Structure 1
Amino acid sequence: MTAIGTLSAPAPAAQRPAHRDPNVLRWLAAYMSSMIGDNVYYIALSWAAVQSGTAAQAGVVMTVSAVPRALLMLGGGVIADRFGPRKVVIGSDAVRCAAVLAVAALLFATSPGLWLLAVLSLVFGTVDAVFMPAVGALPARVTSRDQLARVQGMRGLAIRFANVAGATLGGLCVALGGAAAAFGLAGMLIALSVPLLISVRMTDLPTDAAGGAHDMDGAGVAGASADKEHARVAADKTGAGAVQAKPAGAPAWRDLRDGLGYIRRHRVLAPLIAAIALGDLGFVGPLNVGLTLLADQRGWGASGMGWVLAGFGTGAGAAALLLTVRGRLPRAGRVAAVALLVGSVAIGALAFVSSVAAAVVVALFVGLFAGLSGALCGALLQTQTDPAYLGRVSSVSGIVSLGLAPLSMPLTAAAIGWWGTGPVFVTSAAVCGLGGVLALCVGPLRRAELTK
């Protein structure tokens, strides 16, 4: 498969730091513009849904997108690897932009009701199933392996900024021009990411040990000639096992099966994804639903909950800044495991503080250590994965974070109603801590570094 319209260049031997690399900064600007647009979109969608129906109906509209995202994300990873993450992200952003601007125009002209918002949410969720694995596969194509930790830190800072800027811009637009104006702004911000992404140079996939080369757009492993199309590719030192190269036009289900098999055989990726899953399952419930219920029980009010969330955001931002400045941390696998353990202890402690000030301090530690472990796990996922499989690996990790972990939120709310905040927070912390224990117990993951 050839890469049409793709700017490419081999990675230079001595590459400048990611935060000073114009190519990485263009990618980061595109990512940040898209994320700000996403935040404005969700504010516009929630406001329009509330104005057009009941609270329950608005909740349904907001969650419609989760179904196709969870069901189709594995297929999205296959698409990202087959056609190349940059082209998939550009195409996804173009579709999302067109859908949002079309809804904005309809809202300016008429009042179509909840059905239009539900369709938009469904389209967004379907496109997200392709968009998210491709976004996860992009960093390895725009920088060298030794800069991936710094890129993860920069990405974390971009997310924090996008959350604040998106909420501010979305609220301002809704107040001044209604949901239609907010949808219009979201579409323009998403559109801005497209020319920026087009200007980003992609690096070639590395040549494998058998002499073949990864296709520029990530379609798979190709032999040096047609005779070698089915050649075996030697296993790398991570112990993932030999991978059978696939001819062009191979069925998508075979690519999916090979991706899952690659993860299962990999001595670092398999336990790493399991550790990420445990961390997310233990983290999402308490910090989303649980914190609201805890603030209500303690009498902290909405402002108190806001301060606690600000403490968490500050800690997570500090972790991202640390990686951005340092670039990499030695013994990344061990540090990620310890950070996950410390963060889990802080999650459990959050249920036993009585004052807002103490809760803010504890939340800051939760954000710092959870943010550090999350960024390091993301960087390890990038460095340990063969770039030709990054889309599929990102899709499996994304299903855990965006498909399974949110399911814990209604369970957390119900469990707090039955047993109270203390036991539920401690149980969630134990689940989160199991991820750190797993990472420490599995030797290849514990010894994993950010460079090979």
Structure 2
Amino acid sequence: MTTAVVVPAYRVAQYRRYVAGEAVSVLGDQVWYVALSWATVQLASPGVAGVVLALSAVPRLLLMVLGGPLADRFDARALMVGSDALRAVVMVAAAGIALVATDLWLLVAVALIFGTVDAVFMPAAGSLRPRLLETEQLSDGAALRELGIRAALTLGAPLGGALVTVGGLALACAVNAVTFVLSLLAIRTLRPRPLERVERREPYGAALRAGLRYLLSHRMLRPLLLVTLLFNIGFVGPMNIGLALLSEDRGWGAPGIGFLLAGFGVGAAVGALVMLRVRVRRHIGIGIALGAVGEAVGIAGATLAPNLGLAVASTVVVGLLGGPMGIMCASLTQANTDDAFRGRVSSVQALLSLGVTPLVMGLVGVLAGQFGTTAAMLGSAVVEASAALPCLLLARLRRASIS
């Protein structure tokens, strides 16, 4: 009896195209938000820029969950291509407007339209991704995607800054339109595994409720969602605002923030590279728990470090363990989600990841103001460590496997 050899995900040509297309799309998102903030500051003030950026995120967050049933009801690839095409059109229009006149209300209007169109992309991407791979490839497939997204997030902000410096908002929007076209060209070539036959006459509201019932009643996905929520609550505050506050308190200044974030980025990249070669198939809950505790130790270490060097080393640990933890959570979720609900599950996960970010950032800021940065950071570390509890206490999660 012979056993079929499953090649690593990075050797699957169409999956590489998928990762490239999604990464380029995320790169375009980052360029746009940097260009939007720059243009708003030129017209008004940093405070107004913050309000505009917050407004631009509202339709994206609201429609992200609402986009889940669409991804399950219609062709996910077509939705991704359509989102890329519409965002390219919006960016071309924004570039033309910027050449003529840049009024604040026009920027707000473009931001709202962009956020609305952008919201469809992520649930559709989450629905499509598992259908390009075999179950045994989900772990290293998630690792390859992590590398692609990490590269896009790292390059997007500097690229956006360089573009607006050279040619202002018009050039940034024009180049951004090109990124969405490139993403479109990559994604339209994909040939995912066909979905099982799904009844599509269910009303939209009923489909949304069915997705929530599916998540809340699933013995594996329900605790995984709790782990994801605790992980993100403990993580996004320190990484998005905590390190800046810490660097200010310690006198490390702007260079210190850069070094701390760079340490995290290097650690996350190394962790993803390791996961490309190491397939964790059994006792995944234990691996996730170790990652959560390790990240908590890294956050606490950065907080209590007596100098910048040790703080940077601690953020490397956060990235090194956080990357694999996220990869294991993603692959276990994909392996346990029925095809009929992939879009809705992906949309809720995205909300738990992106939706909590502004709320947690605000909470960490308030706590730091009331009790000090150290207390706020250590509190976040405790929440991060608590994500390990469901993984260790629930046998079904502790012994979970991907096969």
TM over 0.5: yes
Show the counterpart of 1:92. Answer: 83
Counterpart in the other structure of 1:334: 286
> Are the aligned partners of 2:73 and 2:200 in contact in 1 as well (CA < 8 Å)?
no
Q: Which region of structure 1 is more displaced relative to structure 2, 35-44 or 351-360?
A: 35-44
Contact 1:416 1:424 (8 Å CA) reproduced: yes
SS of 1:204's partner is coil
2:218 corresponds to 1:266: yes
2 CA distance for matches of 1:126 and 1:179? 20
Instruction: Give the counterpart of 2:305 among 345, 349, 353.
Output: 353
Structure 2 CA distance for aligned equivalents of residues 328 and 283 of structure 1: 23
Alignment of 1:244-323 (within 5 A): 247-323=199-275
Q: 1:431 is matched by which residue type in structure 2? A: V
**Distance (Å, rounded) in 1 between the aligned partners of 2:33 and 2:138:** 29
Question: Matched residue of 1:450: which SS?
Answer: coil
Could you report, residue by residue, the CA deviation over 1:273-309 in whole angstroms, capped at 9, with x for unpaired residues?
Answer: 1110011011111111111111001001111111111
Which letter does structure 2 place at the counterpart of 1:178? G
- The aligned counterpart of 1:439 is 391
Instruction: State whether residues 153 and 323 of structure 1, in contact with CA within 8 Å, keep that contact through their aligned partners in structure 2.
Output: yes
Report the 3-state secondary structure (helix = DSSP H, G, I; strand = E; otherwise coil) of the residue aligned with 1:59. helix
Separation (CA, whole Å) in 2 of partners of 1:194 and 1:117: 25
Q: d(CA) in 1 for partners of 2:221 and 2:165?
A: 46
Measured against aligned partners, the alpha-carbon deviations of 1:209-252 in whole angstroms (never above 9, x if no partner) come to xxxxx13xxxxx3xxxxxxxxxxxxxxxxxxxxxxxxx442211
Q: Which residue of 2 aligns with 1:407?
A: 359
Structure 2 length as normaliser, TM-score? Answer: 0.96
The Cα of 1:66 is off from its aligned counterpart by 2.0
Look up the SS of the partner of 1:33 in the other structure: helix
Classify 1:260/1:374 alpha carbon distance in 2 versus 1 (closer, same or farther; 3 Å). Answer: same
| Residue of structure 1 equivalent to 2:175 | 185
Q: 1:385-442 deviations in whole A, cap 9, x for unaligned?
A: 1122111001111111111232011111111111112221121111111111122111
Name the residue aligned to 2:125.
135
Residue of structure 1 in register with 2:104 after alignment:
114
Q: Using the TM superposition, give the Cα deviation of residue 323 of structure 1 relative to its aligned residue in structure 2, in angstroms.
A: 1.3
Q: Which runs of 5+ in 2 are unaligned?
A: none
| Deviates further, 431-440 or 272-281 | 431-440
Out of 146, 153, 160, the position equivalent to 1:156 is 146
2:41 matched to 1:34? Answer: no
Post-superposition offset of 1:160: 1.9
Inter-partner Cα distance in structure 2 for 1:54 and 1:387: 47
Counterpart for residue 50 of structure 1? 41
Instruction: Give the Cα–Cα distance (whole angstroms) in 2 for the partners of residues 307 and 434 of structure 1.
Output: 28
Q: Which runs of 5+ in 1 are unaligned?
A: 1-12, 206-213, 216-220, 222-246
How far off is 1:382 after superposition? 0.9
Question: Which deviates further from its counterpart, 163-172 or 91-100?
Answer: 163-172
Q: State the one-letter code of the partner of 2:262.
A: A
Greater than 6 Å deviation, 4+ residue runs: none
**Contact 2:292/2:384, CA 8 A, preserved across alignment:** yes
2:40, 2:104 within 8 Å by CA — same for their partners in 1? yes
The alignment status of 1:104 with 2:104, answered yes or no, reads: no
In structure 2, C-alpha distance between the alignment counterparts of 1:50 and 1:164, rounded to whole Å: 22
Contact 1:344 1:429 in 2 (8 A): yes
What is the CA distance between 1:327 and its match in structure 2? 4.1
Task: For 2:92, give the aligned amino acid.
Answer: L
Identity of aligned residues (%): 41
Instruction: Report the equivalent of 1:236.
Output: none
Question: What is the match of residue 230 of structure 1?
Answer: none
1:329 CA drift (Å): 4.7
Amino acid at match of 1:176: V
Tell me, yes or no, if the aligned pair for 1:139 and 1:148 is still in contact at 8 Å. Answer: no
Question: What is the deviation of 1:319?
Answer: 1.2
How many pairs align?
400
Q: Distance in 2 between matches of 1:441 and 1:430?
A: 17
Single out whichever of 364-373 and 69-78 deviates more from structure 2. 69-78
Secondary structure in structure 2 of the residue aligned to 1:65: helix
Q: CA deviation at 1:167?
A: 2.8
